Amino acid sequence: MKLGIVGSGKVGSALGAWAAKAGYQVAFTSRNESHARDAAQHAGHSAKALPLRELIDESRLILLTLPYAEVKKALGPMREHLGRKTLVDVTNPVTPDYKSLALGHTTSGAEEIARLFLDANIVKAFNAVFAEVYVSQNPKIGGQTISIFFAGDDVEAKERVGELIERMGFDPVDAGPLQNARYLEPLSLLNIHLGRVLGFGTHIGLALLRDGRP
């Protein structure tokens, strides 16, 4: 299977090298030709550097690992050659400071609630797990503990919520300021889609895998 990588930065280079090791015939391209050559050399397993147009023609599966803001400029001229190809969008439309999404995400329910009750301390939590899991009073699935992400601006309030989560046996994960509720509320939609639409059922949950606590 031929795999093309557009963008030979850290992500593209690493994904391409891994895919090459996994048996894919990998080609890299980059605005900077030497980056593509370096990525190919690093990947080994007959990976090669190609000009964009040739890479598109040769590959059925193409990973977009360039910055989101550059996709249109870089690939727009190739529009007709991209027909029927499978493009894997690895990009994220982040703001330049990497702190938020530049499109599509402007607020959250939690932030709106905080605007209603200015003196109260709002903490977002427990919003991305099915009621059925809470009914079961079992914080584990297959021996693994479900993570409950929580976000808020008041340290003491968060400690209280973290303690509640912990006493219920879940894995509490402090996910930062209340504004990050805009990244936790989508988790609930993902959860709902996975459980109710895509057939995973309600006995599911996310776990944050990591080496330790910060």
Beta pairing, strands 140-141 & 144-145: antiparallel
Q: How far is CA 185 from CA 160, 180, 189, in A?
A: 21, 9, 7
Q: How far is CA 197 from CA 128, 180, 184, 185, 192, in A?
A: 15, 26, 20, 18, 7
113 binds its own copies (CB under 8 A): yes
Which of 34, 53, 57, 82 is the binder for its own copies (CB under 8 A)?
A: 82
Radius of gyration of the chain (CA): 22
25 binds its own copies (CB under 8 A): no
Which of 127, 153, 155, 172 is the binder for its own copies (CB under 8 A)?
A: 127
Q: Which of residues 145-164 bind its own copies (CB under 8 A)?
A: 146, 149-150, 154, 156-157, 160-161, 164
Residue 65 carries which side chain, given as an amino acid letter?
T
173 binds its own copies (CB under 8 A): yes
20 binds its own copies (CB under 8 A): no
In terms of residues, how long is the chain? Answer: 214
96 binds its own copies (CB under 8 A): no
189 binds its own copies (CB under 8 A): yes
**Count of residues of this chain found to bind its own copies when the rule CB under 8 A is applied:** 116
